[in-house]
Structure 1
């Protein structure tokens, strides 16, 4: 089987349900395709937990967000759902020129469908995410990626956040002050 198809490992087979049903298998295949096309970076402070680079090839997830949460005794990895959300949002904004809020609503529905397809309660997942969004909102931004797409924050007219992001950029661009060591004579 060619490796450039939508899912190189699994055999392609017709689903037994109508194609308009939400299918966990199809969502998995779509998500696998997205994961092969983007890079994940968790080294930065990202407002509202996740964002994307200007070219859309890198998805940023806030460095303070745990990679998993507990649900019914299992550890659930959250990165894949956030990557799906951010990829869909970026594609809709750039490809169809949608306003951020419209793209965000559609991306949230895609994220929710993927969470539910994995038999995880959307309510539990969302509760976990909301807890960390609140923490990140008041966080001091010290590490911001240089190519973070700021369009969502501009579209939301979040002036305080934009000011904080610009301050983080200025701090990063300042020349580093080094002190010369003074050697003391004997």
Structure 2
């Protein structure tokens, strides 16, 4: 077992708890098993939303600007293992079960939260640390995007602005494969067309609304007048 595991030397003794009980030790063991399956961890690229995976699922990418740890109540908390768990669960649910990205992402986030809690880290503190770097990384130019980064999450999330920035930068990035560039352009073009269609539909609805309101006003029956109230 790798030395980075939570209990490299501890024997796997039978736990005195129900099978359904998710204890910290059980979560750590499950997380260790997932970490052993990761073939390659890459921290040398710019990754939107902090982490992602290759198209074949063999590489987990974590953004090069994200620190490897943060301090919580006097303890140093390594973050890679939680992000790896999220990406592995998400990728498996999408590829093996055919889930939509947003559904797989929700399940993976719950697993990530459970792992953080098992490490005695509050989700609020963990998420606050992550969101700080999501904002910074999202605002910068994407200078080093992996050639085999799986684009499905960004496509399913309908992040048109991000795909557009990635498409613009891909023209000046050496090493990106033709297939990756073509896929990126196809997604961006599809989103552009979708946005134009939505704009045209909104414009038609906007023009039709005043006329429809006028017709409705003319067709509406005139309410009967109330009889005047007599005062003595």
Normalization by structure 1: what TM-score? 0.85
Give the length in aligned residue pairs. Answer: 168
Q: Which moved more, 1:149-158 or 1:21-30?
A: 21-30
Matched, 1:74 2:75: yes
Distance 2:134 2:99 in 1: 24
Matched, 1:147 2:154: no
Distance 1:71 1:8, change over 3 A: closer
Distance 2:33 2:157 in 1: 30
1:65-105 alpha-carbon deviations (Å, 9 max, x no partner): 11111101111100000000000000001010000010000
Mapping 1:1-186, distance limit 5 Å: 10-38=10-38, 39-173=40-174
Give the CA RMSD over aligned residues. Answer: 1.6
Q: Structure 1 or 2: larger helix share?
A: 2
Partner SS, residue 144 of structure 1: coil
Specify which structure has the bigger relative contact order, considering alpha-carbon pairs within 8 angstroms and separated by 6 or more residues: 1
Structure 2 stretches of 5 or more lacking a match? Answer: 1-6, 176-232
Distance 2:46 2:139 in 1: 11
Normalization by structure 2: what TM-score? 0.69
Larger Rg: 2
Structure 1 stretches of 5 or more lacking a match? Answer: 1-6, 175-186
Q: Which moved more, 1:10-19 or 1:83-92?
A: 10-19
Distance 2:165 2:62 in 1: 18
Distance 1:146 1:15 in 2: 44
